Amino acid sequence: MTDPSSTPALRVVVADDSVLLREGLVRLLDEIGAVVVGAYGDAESLLAELDATSPDVAVLDVRMPPTHTDEGVRAAIEARRRRPDLGILLLSQYVEVAYARDLLEAGSGGVGYLLKDRVASVDEFGDALGRVADGGTVLDPQVVSQLLGRRSDPLEALTPREREVLTLMAEGRTNAAIASALVIGTGAVEKNVTSIFQKLLLEDSGSDHRRVLAVLAYLQR
């Protein structure tokens, strides 16, 4: 995984209509070693300068002017259409599952959706930014919880341990990270992952972010 603190060349653009949060994000990104190449108060400005700034990752608020509904999500999808390799990290004040689903369905990795409270943690935000820049998927645990809760039937066949593993998988955690979180061996995690895919009729592609997207796509159907 790319560590943004050791990769000063990581170029980031920020869009948030709150001056306070926007400037806070700029300072935070600077602190973890990223280079902010653009900071905007609306999504349209970010899109207008996308080619000129050539960012690696775009960090956007979900709700921005003029309607304060889904401008950030729509801008993220359009930005990915123009630059398929662009990492997208959406920030939201509240859990908005529909927007997380729209973002996931529009791409195949390099996407993240976090509640703004997570930004308060430098380490957590830096880890999320690094994983998104590296092509991974990062979802706020509260978003994952609601996504999984929306489809309980397919999960009935899973054991409690498999449910724990699935939740961490959906957050974008690697097998090693899951093993550490659950204090079990990586071999046990691999067995649980295999069992999960078998029970949910999902084929393991061998790619962390693809397997997360496959699980989420199945649970959202």
Q: DSSP for 55-98?
A: -SEEEEESS-TTTTSSHHHHHHHHHHHH-TT-EEEEEESS--HH
How many other CB atoms are found less than 10 A from the CB of residue 49? 15
Q: Which CATH class is domain 151-220?
A: mainly alpha
How many other CB atoms are found less than 10 A from the CB of residue 51? 9
Please tell me which residue, 43 or 145, carries the higher pLDDT value: 43
Strands 137-139 and 87-92: unpaired
**Residue 174 pLDDT exceeds 50:** yes
Do 61 and 115 touch, CB atoms closer than 8 A?
no
Domain ranges for the chain, please list them. Answer: 4-140, 151-220
Please tell me which residue, 3 or 43, carries the higher pLDDT value: 43
- Check for a shared fold between 4-140 and 151-220: no
| Model pLDDT, residue 198 | 76
pLDDT, mean of residues 129-140 = 86
Angle of helix 97-105 versus helix 208-220 axis, rounded to 10: 130
| Model pLDDT, residue 70 | 86
Q: Tens digit of pLDDT for each residue in 95-128? A: 776 777 777 766 667 888 888 887 777 888 888 8
Percent residues over pLDDT 90 in the chain = 35
Whole-Å CA distances, 24 to 15, 94, 135: 12, 19, 25
Report the distance separating Cα 203 and Cα 197, nearest Å: 6
User: Would you identify the CATH topology of the domain 4-140?
Assistant: Rossmann fold (3.40.50)
pTM for the model stands at 0.67
| Model pLDDT, residue 137 | 82
